[in-house]
Amino acid sequence: MEIRTRVSLLCGAIAGPLFTLAYLTEGATRAGYDPLRHPVSSLALGRYGWMQTLNFFVAAALTIVFAAGVHHVSTRSTWKPLLIGLWGTALLGAGIFVTDPVGGYPAGTPDRIPSATTHGALHDYVSLTGFAMLTAACFAFARQGSARWRLYCVLSGVGFAVTMLVSSAAFGQTGELGDVAGLFQRIALTTAWSWQTILALGLLSRARRGEAGRAG
């Protein structure tokens, strides 16, 4: 296996853990930010918002590189690397177009602004597109492999889509659902990034076994 393919697959494996560690650290240190109530994208607002923007860019770059690795090891599939690449591109767009304030963060902003700004609407659009691409990728990879792997892909795709839709509907609302919107989003993101990490490590292991078999 070429070194660049190995590196590409490793990029896919570390993208999620790095992204998660970064937003958890940021959320724990921002005044007025409530991880249970506010979306991860809100961390791109305010004085230190550049840190979350950079987090989006790094995750996007690692995921797009991962898509290239998927292409090298899945030569018979066009859709699989394409869907991963589109998911990475959406992460890039989410970093470029900053979200609007929601849920009273940053301090002094209303729970929901009357109308979305252009960059806020674009952020929502590219994010929704990315969520759809990742969900589709889960189902695309469920078409091959062991029964356990296929089930895991299906459950990941369904679980990610459902929890992300719930969180998206809850943000900006008052009451119990709005107070846990951020929790639902974090469940969705953990589901998605865990799936990508396991996929990347699985492809890396399979490629290594194939290489060892050819050598033998």
Maximum C-alpha span of the chain: 66
Mean pLDDT, range 44-72, rounded to an integer: 96
Percent of the chain at pLDDT exceeding 70: 95
Distance separating alpha carbons of residues 15 and 95, to the nearest angstrom? 15
pLDDT at 212 over 60: no
Q: Which residue has the higher pLDDT, 213 or 105?
A: 105
**Residues 6 or more apart from 84 whose CB is under 8 A from it?**
12, 63, 66, 67, 70, 133, 137, 196
Per-residue pLDDT, averaged over 191-195, amounts to 98
Ranges of H-type helices in 30-146:
49-73, 79-96, 118-141
What contacts 144, CB < 8 A, 6 or more positions away? 150
CA distance 200 to 37: 31
pTM equals: 0.92
Q: Is the peptide bond before 39 cis (omega within 30 degrees of 0)?
A: no
Q: How do the domains of the chain map onto residue ranges?
A: 3-215
Chain-wide mean pLDDT for the chain? 91
Which amino acid, 216? G
**What is the average pLDDT across 147-176?**
92
Rounded Cα gap, residues 67 and 84, in angstroms: 5
Averaged pLDDT, 10-37: 96
